[in-house]
């Protein structure tokens, strides 16, 4: 799935165009590495997207340096959103990777979704509890698979 999505050319990318100012946006923050602006849908009031200025399609394309540059900005932008929206009771930080995960724009972006009480809150998700549906062996095998894949990742 990921391969075909990565085909989005930078010249074709709406978020690259937003960074360049070719498409207008409600900018909330910008520095050398990062651009943040209001998501047009405003799932809840203050819903903000934080994007790297370097075009990467998804989390799988970040190197550690780019990840650090983007992720280290999240706490201060989050606190600014909270300060600007004092009714905010919580904040979900969400990053969709791949169509199957709900990604629709293939320039990586972090959603900051303020959470409120009552009708102004347009966000929902569910976490299934499948803890009854696997054996202890299957559970350990899943951890071992990721652990050994990580060793290969570090060799690469
Ligand atoms: P995804 O579904 O890929 O995680 O999120 C893409 C987000 O980009 C959506 O929430 C959508 O509302 C937002 N979006 C798409 N096009 C534009 C645009 O032109 N301007 C802004 N501000 N947001 C956009
Ligand atoms: Zn882009």
Å from CA of 89 to ligand 1 middle: 23
DSSP secondary structure letters along 16-70: HHHHHTSS---EEEE-SSEEEEE-TT-SSTT-EEEEESS--SSGGG--HHHHHHH
For ligand 1, say whether the CB of 37 is within 6 Å of any of its atoms.
yes
For ligand 1, say whether the CB of 94 is within 6 Å of any of its atoms.
no
Residue 48: burial class (beta carbons within 10 Å; 0-12, 13-18, 19+): buried
Q: pLDDT > 70: what percent of the chain?
A: 92
From 25, 35, 41, 43, the mutation candidate for ligand 1 (largest count of ligand atoms within 8 A of CB) is: 41
Distance of alpha carbon 152 from alpha carbon 156, whole angstroms: 6
Q: Which residues are catalytic?
A: 109
> pLDDT tens for residues 125-140?
899 999 999 999 999 9
> pLDDT tens for residues 4-29?
444 555 669 999 999 999 999 999 99
Distinct helix (H) and strand (E) counts, the chain: 5, 5
Mean pLDDT over 136-149 rounds to 97
pLDDT, residue 67, reads 98
Predicted structure pTM score: 0.92
Residue 43 contacts residue 124 (beta carbons within 8 Å): no
For ligand 1, say whether the CB of 105 is within 6 Å of any of its atoms.
yes
- Look-up of token digits 């370097």: 54
Q: What is the phi-psi region of residue 78: left when phi exceeds 0, alpha when psi lies from -120 to 50, beta otherwise?
A: alpha
Higher pLDDT, 1 or 103: 103
Residues, beta carbon < 5 Å, ion ligand 2: 13, 15-16, 55, 107
Say yes or no to pLDDT of 124 above 60. Answer: yes
> pLDDT tens for residues 56-72?
999 999 999 999 999 99
Residues 6+ apart with CB under 8 A from 95: 59, 108, 109, 110, 111
Å from CA of 102 to ligand 2 middle: 17
């Amino acid at each position: 799935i990921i391969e075909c999505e990565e085909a989005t050319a930078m010249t074709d990318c709406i978020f690259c165009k937003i960074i360049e100012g070719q498409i207008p946006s409600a900018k909330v923050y910008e520095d050398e590495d990062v651009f943040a602006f209001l998501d047009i849908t405003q799932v809840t009031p203050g819903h903000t997207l934080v994007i790297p200025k370097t075009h990467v399609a998804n989390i799988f394309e970040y190197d550690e340096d780019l990840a650090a540059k983007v992720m280290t900005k999240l706490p201060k932008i989050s606190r600014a959103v909270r300060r600007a929206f004092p009714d905010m009771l919580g904040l979900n930080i969400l990053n969709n990777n791949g169509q199957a995960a709900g990604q629709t724009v293939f320039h990586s972006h972090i959603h900051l979704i303020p959470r409120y009480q009552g009708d102004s809150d347009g966000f929902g998700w569910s976490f299934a509890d499948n803890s009854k549906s696997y054996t202890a062996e299957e559970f350990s095998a899943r951890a071992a698979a990721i652990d050994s894949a990580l060793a290969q990742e570090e060799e690469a």
